[in-house]
Amino acid sequence: HGSEQVAVRVHIEDDLPPITANSDHLERVIENVVENSFQALDGSGSLEVSVTRSAGEEKNAYVEICITDTGPGMDEQTIERAFIPFFTTRTTGTGLGLALSERLVRAQGGTIHLTSREGVGTTMYIRLPVDGVLPDGEEVMA
């Protein structure tokens, strides 16, 4: 879908601490966010994915996945509604992608939020606790 004009860069920090997460859910979230970025880019621009550890103290430590695109960005109203179920700016799509992503990330004790500037692009931040335990106490191997 015209992605030959999209430059993709991936940066993963060395020696990342282990996180406890449901890998299927995490994969769905990342696929969804990256797909949104590709659609926003509409065939040209760049997409950058970086995975880093927080500089916070150990008990608040997290791994952060940042997905940044140089798409058209969003206005204030769209940003506010981005995670609301069934809200979409597209002619196709259910508007459930980010709402579901937020639910999946929260279920793993993490957070997801975005920053966006019109004409500049959008960055999605997914933060997952280092070596945490899922809220129901169930240990999940990464």
Q: Read off the pLDDT of residues 19-28 as tens digits, 9 standing for 90 and up.
A: 888 899 999 9
- What per-residue confidence (pLDDT) applies to 134? 47
77 against 2, higher pLDDT: 77
First to last CA, the chain: 32
Q: Shortest CA distance to 55 belongs to which of 64, 46, 65, 67?
A: 64
94: buried, middle or exposed (CB in 10 Å: 19+, 13-18, 0-12)? Answer: exposed
In this predicted structure, the answer to whether residue 2 has a pLDDT above a threshold of 70 is no
To which residue do tokens 């993963």 refer?
12
Confidence category of residue 140, pLDDT binned at 50, 70, 90:
very low
Whole-model pTM over 0.85: no
- Mean pLDDT in residue range 120-135: 81
User: How many residues would you count in the chain?
Assistant: 142
